[in-house]
């Protein structure tokens, strides 16, 4: 049976784009006469049903796709809602002054334009390189800094690296000081900046098995087998695992989206995803100061997802899901093995030795894992959702791949300001990776509230030992713009005042931060305006189906203010109703020599832990002996 969160099919994508194309001239009255529209489809995504609508209204009814249509020459953007069943246009909106994500196609053409530009050729030649085949040009979202070319044109910034051949790690050989700016409609190279020659770092950054010397010995086989198969069942996009149920979909912008997460039939999360992220760089040099990649909204984590390999990316009894992604031209492509599902042992869940009788009771934990990996230029991000036997939900982001680099004096023992030295003449700017999780909560039902809980010492107590918790109900959006505070164990409790546990308390889940970083750029800076979501660890908004991404739907080249700052300006009430939590977390990355030439995984994330959701430890019922267990 079909479900409203079913994965998109190639037919649906083709239909939605064809309907949008056919309707273009009917809906866009000011298209230049006599010119055939040159349309691209940067985003084709499921328009998810309004969670407040009754189930039969959005359940198995119409499949609505949202198509973002870009006219290449005029730059005009339209958002079109297509009912792919009928098929027909349901809604057509022209959106002036916005830029959809960068297109793979236009990025390729911008690179070609750069390599053909005499100013660029001269700048590269000044660093001793004359063969353009040995130059790697990386396109970057341009941002918006109020500069002369930030005038509404669709632009991309480009920076070059030297490579020995296409298999080389170009980030070892940055051509410091060169930045190109290309108009993506005309492919005119607007400007080539050369802030001065720095010698190209000579050392290889290759990291393949053939490049790194002798391979380490002594690793004996470590095999994970489940002779009776895994304990989960996947049916289409529905998953069941030991009491947990959920559905998953795949969005070209956000990547993996989880829906209708419940435990033993009790709802917890209606929707969960990484709805935006930004990687602001913190160095002032010409090649670096403007780097602020919104890898969700400017590129699309979904579009850049990669096929995973059994035994390498994923170990054990794996179930994969393929996904179909739009291809910008109205068609689609399949990414096989894009979503990985498996089960992992996770050590001890609980244990006690009763010393009076030498009785050892121990139960092992395990988790269900659903994940995908997206490669955005030099970086690779793995997004792993974990579900545990005690009701805990966790998101873990794995950050790996290759650092953004710069060239400096090869005799230097320190990097320039705002960065770390990696290798002779090679450095990496300090930067941040700030992720924003969108959590549409539904703890025991749709009407939830959030309390901030601080754990503090109490000065008023006679013996000086008292600990108290301070709970503050977050009543409106402005009050709910919060920073984490590890010193007082601050966490946020999502509660349902209509559902009570055996102790008579509202049932609840706790959002427990693990890496609550916020934006370090100065207030008033371009990036602080554009990534306002990243200035707070928590925002809470009343659920609204149009409020989907925390920096707005079109962050590419946006001057700022869209998304959370705009919505929360209304200071709407957030108590006892369907709400969305937006949690910003991440890493302030001070690169180490060990992060070169490819980074060992760094982790960031958070937990959602039951807190009075159950009446006692919900994992008492686990079987004691799953294998051979030694007696004390
Ligand atoms: Co980093």
* pLDDT tens digits, one per residue of 86-133: 999 999 999 999 999 999 999 999 999 999 999 999 999 999 999 999
The verdict on 502 and 477 lying in the same domain is yes
Tell which residue, 396, 399, 416, 398, has the closest CA to residue 407: 416
The verdict on whether 379 is a catalytic residue reads: yes
Q: Are 279 and 296 in contact (CB under 8 A)?
A: no
Write down the H helix ranges in 541-581.
Answer: 564-568
Q: Would 222 be classed as within a structural domain?
A: no
Residue at 224 is within a domain: no
One domain, residues 245 and 154: no
Q: Are residues 548 and 491 in the same domain?
A: yes
Is the pLDDT assigned to residue 269 strictly greater than 60? Answer: yes
Average pLDDT score over residue span 298-310: 97
Ligand 1 mean position, distance from CA 433 (Å): 6
In 72-162, DSSP assigns E strands to: 77-83, 88-94, 135-141, 155-162
Domain membership flag for residue 227 = no
CA of 377 to the centre of ligand 1 (A): 12
Pairing of strands 244-251, 406-407: unpaired
* Res 30: pLDDT: 87
The whole-chain average pLDDT of the chain stands at 96
Residue 149 lies in a domain: yes
pLDDT digits (tens, 9 = 90+) for 414-440: 999 999 999 999 999 999 999 999 999
For residue 431, report the distance from its CA to the centre of ligand 1, in Å: 6
Contact 287, 195 (CB under 8 A): yes
pLDDT exceeds 70 at position 627: no
pLDDT tens per residue across span 153-162: 999 999 999 9
| Model pLDDT, residue 365 | 96
C-alpha 29 to ligand 1 mean position (Å) = 46
88 and 122 share one domain = no
Between 617 and 628, the higher pLDDT residue:
617
With CA atoms as reference, report the closest residue to 172 among 551, 602, 456, 596. 596
Q: How far away, in angstroms, is 273 Cα from ligand 1 center?
A: 21
CATH number of the domain within which 183 lies: 3.10.450.40
Provide mean pLDDT across the span 620-632. Answer: 70
Angle subtended by helix axes 118-125 and 104-115, to nearest 10? 70
Structure tokens belonging to residue 252: 């070209």
> Is 628 part of the annotated catalytic residue set?
no
The reply to whether 596 falls in a domain is yes
The verdict on 108 and 34 lying in the same domain is: no
Instruction: Verify that 155 and 66 share a domain, yes or no.
Output: no
Q: Active-site residue among 161, 263, 281, 379? A: 379
For residue 529, give the nearest of 505, 564, 550, 560 by alpha carbon: 560
Alpha carbon of 583 to ligand 1 centroid (Å) = 19
From the list 521, 495, 492, the residue with the least C-alpha distance to 582 is: 492
Give 605 Cα–ligand 1 centroid separation in angstroms: 15
Decide which of 46, 63, 94 is a domain's last residue.
94
CA distance 306 to 383: 12
Q: How many Å separate Cα 45 from the centre of its chain?
A: 16
Of 396, 425, 432, nearest to 596 (Cα)?
425
Q: In angstroms, rounded to a whole number, what is the distance separating the alpha carbons of residues 187 and 36?
A: 19
Query: What's residue 313's pLDDT?
Result: 93
Residue 226 included in any domain: no
Question: In this structure, are 473 and 539 located in the same domain?
Answer: yes
Tokens for 53, please give them: 């609508």
pLDDT tens digits for range 192-221: 999 999 999 999 999 999 999 899 999 999
Give the tens place of pLDDT for each residue, 343-394. 999 999 999 999 999 999 999 999 999 999 999 999 999 999 999 999 999 9
Q: Are residues 430 and 303 in the same domain?
A: yes
pLDDT for 461: 85
Q: How far apart are CA 344 and CA 321, in angstroms?
A: 18
Query: Does residue 243 share a domain with residue 136?
Result: no
What's the mean pLDDT in 451-462?
93
Helix runs in 557-622, H state only: 564-568
Question: Residue 281 Cα, ligand 1 centroid: separation in angstroms?
Answer: 9
Q: What angle do CA 574, 575, 577 make, to 5 degrees?
A: 85
Tally of domains in the chain: 3
Examine residue 505 and state whether it is found in any structural domain, yes or no: yes
CATH number at residue 478: 2.70.98.20
Q: Is the same domain home to 75 and 145?
A: no
Taking 80 as the threshold, does the pLDDT of residue 1 lie above it? no
pLDDT-based confidence at residue 58 (cuts at 50, 70, 90) = very low
Helix (H) or strand (E) segment spanning residue 374: strand 359-376
Q: From the CA of 255, how far away is ligand 1's center (Å)?
A: 20
Provide the domain limits for residue 69.
10-94
Examine the pLDDT at 55 and tell me if it is beyond 90.
no
| 314-338: pLDDT as tens digits | 999 999 999 999 999 999 999 999 9
pLDDT tier, 232 (very low <50, low <70, confident <90, very high otherwise):
very high
Q: Which of 94, 117, 140 is the last residue of a domain?
A: 94
Q: Are 406 and 429 in contact (CB under 8 A)?
A: yes
331 CA distance to ligand 1 middle (Å):
34
**Residue 532 CA to ligand 1 centre (angstroms):** 20
83, 183, 194, 295: the active-site residue = 295
Residue 131 lies in a domain: yes
Tell how far the Cα of 156 is from the centroid of ligand 1, in angstroms. 22
Residues 80 and 128 occupy one common structural domain: no
* Strands lying side by side in the sheet with 449-457: 319-326, 332-354, 359-376, 379-388, 393-401, 599-610, 506-513, 491-500, 449-457, 467-473
| Residues 492 and 566 reside in one and the same domain | yes
Given 94, 125, 144, the domain boundary residue is 94
Position 53 scores a pLDDT of 83
pLDDT at 632: 45
Cα separation, 171 vs 295, in Å, equals 19
- Give pTM, 2 decimals: 0.97
Decide if 252 contacts 430 (C-beta within 8 A).
no
């Amino acid at each position: 049976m079909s479900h409203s969160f079913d994965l998109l099919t190639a037919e649906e994508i083709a239909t939605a784009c064809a309907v949008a194309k056919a309707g273009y001239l009917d809906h866009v009255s000011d298209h230049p006469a006599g010119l055939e529209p040159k349309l691209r489809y940067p985003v084709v995504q499921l328009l998810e049903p309004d969670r407040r609508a009754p189930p039969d209204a959005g359940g198995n009814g119409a499949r609505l796709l949202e198509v973002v249509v870009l006219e290449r020459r005029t730059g005009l953007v339209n958002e079109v809602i297509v009912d792919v069943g009928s098929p027909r246009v349901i809604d057509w909106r022209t959106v002036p002054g916005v830029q959809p994500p960068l297109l793979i196609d236009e990025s390729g053409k911008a690179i070609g334009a750069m390599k053909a530009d005499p100013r660029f050729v001269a700048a590269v030649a000044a660093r001793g390189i004359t063969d353009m085949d040995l130059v790697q040009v990386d396109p970057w979202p341009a941002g918006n800094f109020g500069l002369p070319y930030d005038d509404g044109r669709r632009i991309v910034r480009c920076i070059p690296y030297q490579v020995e051949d296409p298999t080389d790690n170009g980030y070892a050989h940055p051509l410091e000081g060169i930045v190109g700016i290309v108009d993506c409609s005309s492919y005119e190279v607007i400007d080539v900046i050369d802030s001065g020659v720095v010698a190209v770092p000579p050392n290889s950054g290759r990291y393949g098995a053939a490049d790194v010397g002798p391979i380490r010995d002594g690793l004996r086989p470590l095999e994970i087998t489940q002779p009776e198969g895994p304990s989960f069942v996947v049916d289409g996009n529905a998953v069941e695992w030991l009491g947990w149920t959920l559905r998953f979909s795949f969005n070209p912008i956000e990547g993996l989206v989880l829906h209708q997460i419940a435990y033993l039939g009790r709802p917890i999360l209606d929707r969960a995803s990484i709805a935006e992220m930004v990687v602001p760089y913190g160095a002032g040099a010409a090649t670096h100061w403007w780097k602020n990649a919104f890898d969700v909204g400017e590129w699309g984590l979904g579009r850049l997802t990669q096929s995973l390999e059994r035994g390498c990316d994923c170990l054990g009894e794996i179930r994969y899901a393929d996904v179909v992604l739009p291809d910008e031209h109205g068609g689609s492509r399949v990414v096989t093995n894009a979503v990985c599902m498996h089960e992992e042992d996770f050590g001890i869940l609980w244990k006690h030795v009763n010393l009076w009788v030498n009785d050892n009771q121990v139960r092992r934990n395990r988790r269900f894992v659903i994940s995908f990996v997206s490669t955005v230029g030099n970086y690779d991000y793995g997004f792993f959702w974990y579900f545990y036997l005690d009701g805990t939900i966790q998101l873990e982001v794995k950050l790996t791949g290759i650092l953004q680099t710069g060239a400096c004096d090869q005799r230097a023992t320190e990097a320039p300001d705002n960065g770390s030295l990696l290798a002779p003449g090679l450095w990496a700017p300090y930067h941040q990776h700030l992720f924003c999780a969108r959590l549409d909560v539904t703890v025991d039902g749709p009407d939830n509230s959030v309390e901030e809980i601080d754990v503090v010492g109490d000065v008023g107590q006679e013996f000086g030992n008292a600990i108290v918790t301070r709970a503050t109900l977050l009543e409106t959006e402005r009050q709910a713009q919060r920073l984490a505070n590890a010193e007082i164990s601050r966490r946020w409790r999502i509660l349902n005042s209509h559902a009570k546990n055996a102790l008579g308390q509202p049932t609840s889940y706790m959002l427990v931060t693990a890496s609550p970083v916020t934006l370090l750029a100065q207030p008033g800076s371009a990036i602080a305006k554009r990534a306002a979501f990243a200035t707070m660890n928590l925002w809470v908004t009343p659920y609204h189906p149009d409020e989907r991404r925390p920096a707005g739907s079109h962050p590419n080249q946006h001057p700022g203010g869209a998304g959370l700052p705009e919505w929360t300006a209304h200071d709407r009430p957030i108590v006892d109703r369907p709400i969305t939590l937006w949690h910003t977390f991440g890493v302030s990355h001070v690169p180490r020599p060990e992060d070169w030439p490819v980074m060992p995984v760094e982790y960031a994330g958070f937990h959602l832990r039951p807190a009075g959701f159950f009446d006692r430890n919900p994992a008492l019922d686990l079987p004691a002996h799953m294998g051979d267990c030694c007696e004390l």
